[in-house]
Structure 1
Amino acid sequence: MSSSAPDIVNRYFAALNSRDGESLLGLFTPDAVVVDEGQTWRGASEIRTWVDDVVFRFEYTAGVLGVESAGDGEYVARARLEGNFPGGIVELSVRFDLEGDQISRLENAA
């Protein structure tokens, strides 16, 4: 297990915190898959919808609590979100599957 995050994971959380949708979208492969809130989004068009309708639905900050390697090109980050969503605070597990310097699959779980 590694406690250091690859650059792509750091860039993901930086894009979330700056609410930079274009930078966030640029982190994903064209055929990437996102699983969040019980739904699955596939490919660039659906992931753009996820960013617009889910990721930026509320205002929040995301703090990374730690990152561990989960295998070849796979990482799991623990993050704490604080914002204006119901409950105001949540800790998430965010799984990243990487292809080179892009995200091929991202899965959020509370």
Structure 2
Amino acid sequence: MNIDLPKVINAYFKADKKGSPQALADLFTPDAVVVDEGNTYTGRDAIRQWMMNASTKYTYTVEPFAQAEEGGRTIITSHLVGNFPGSPVDLRYFFVLKSGMIAELEIVL
């Protein structure tokens, strides 16, 4: 299913697919916060490191298939398949956007 993602969220998934931590980090505000697997990463440097670790630790593909809005957040549900425990899985990505950039991202089951 093709969905019409907001521009910066579409760019996020493209950067993730290419395994480009710097391109991905550049989509976030300087003080952005990412919460993933119980860990919190604050700022572009921490977000870049988070992506570098994820892309070296696992091989995966992610395919967004649903979009919703709730409480000022854009929720993208994606199918994730890879060499990680529990694969495949559907994850929800809770994005908060600010001035065309990602200010917050929380990834949950």
Q: CA deviation at 1:56?
A: 4.4
The alignment's TM-score, normalised by the length of structure 1, stands at 0.88
Aligned to 2:67: 67
RMSD of aligned alpha carbons: 1.5
Q: CA deviation at 1:77?
A: 0.3
Q: Does 1:81 align with 2:80?
A: yes
Output the CA distance in 1 between the equivalents of 2:88 and 2:56: 16
Q: CA deviation at 1:84?
A: 1.3
Q: Does 1:34 align with 2:62?
A: no
Aligned to 2:6: 6
SS of equivalent residue, structure 1 residue 86: coil
Aligned to 1:90: 89
The alignment's TM-score, normalised by the length of structure 2, stands at 0.89
Aligned to 1:17: 17
**Maintained 8 Å contact 2:76/2:94:** yes
**Maintained 8 Å contact 1:35/1:106:** yes
Residues 5-42 of structure 1 deviation map (CA, whole Å, 9 limit, x = unaligned):
21111111111111122211111001000000001111
**Maintained 8 Å contact 1:19/1:56:** no
Structure 2 portions without partners, runs of 5+: none
Q: CA deviation at 1:55?
A: 4.8
Structure 1 portions without partners, runs of 5+: none
For these two proteins, the number of residue pairs brought into alignment is 107
One-letter identity of the residue aligned with 1:106: L
